[in-house]
Amino acid sequence: MKATELLKRQHREVKGLFKETKKASGAKARRSGMEEIATKLLAHMAIEEDIFYPAVKELGTKKTAEMVPEAYEEHHVAKLVIRELPKVNPEDERFEAKMTVLEELIEHHVEEEEKEMFKVAEKLGAERLTELGAEMKAAFDPQPLKAAGGRR
């Protein structure tokens, strides 16, 4: 599977999890939904940062020189929110507010990846993209959230 296809599938999965978690009633269900989202997002961001972004950056165009550092910074902001979420009571209004902020952040970020970065990434060629896809699939390793709020 091409790297871009793998990442798109993961984007769709997280989008679905946000939808489910918003509908979930009860503190326990919302917390476990949040934990699954956080876990999947952290693993997704890790394979992008370690494998996909460096490959895109290697293309060395003016566009990639802007796009890649911006994507890392967006991940950084998402991780700040992800780290705070486990400390907030799911029954507190701040929980829903933070989840909404995270969802919007991710939505914006995913749109830029899919509409801009993945298009540019096509220049890597189908073969290289398939190699990167296999490498990322093997490296994808969701870890349970630590009580302190995540491993990164």
CB of 91 to Fe ion, least distance (A): 30
**Tokens (6 digits) for 7:** 């990442």
CB of 147 to Fe ion, least distance (A): 26
CB of 14 to Fe ion, least distance (A): 9
Residue located via tokens 């970020």: 109
Q: Half-sphere exposure of residue 31, counting CA atoms within 13 Å on the CB side?
A: 14
CA–CA gap between residue 136 and residue 139 (Å, rounded): 5
Question: Quick one: which H or E segment has residue 28?
Answer: helix 27-47
Length, in residues, of the chain: 152
What residues make contact with Fe ion under the rule CB under 5 A? 48, 113
Which residue's CB is nearer to Fe ion, number 48 or number 103? 48
Which residue's CB is nearer to Fe ion, number 5 or number 92? 5
Which residue's CB is nearer to Fe ion, number 103 or number 113? 113
CB of 13 to Fe ion, least distance (A): 11
Which residue's CB is nearer to Fe ion, number 78 or number 85? 78
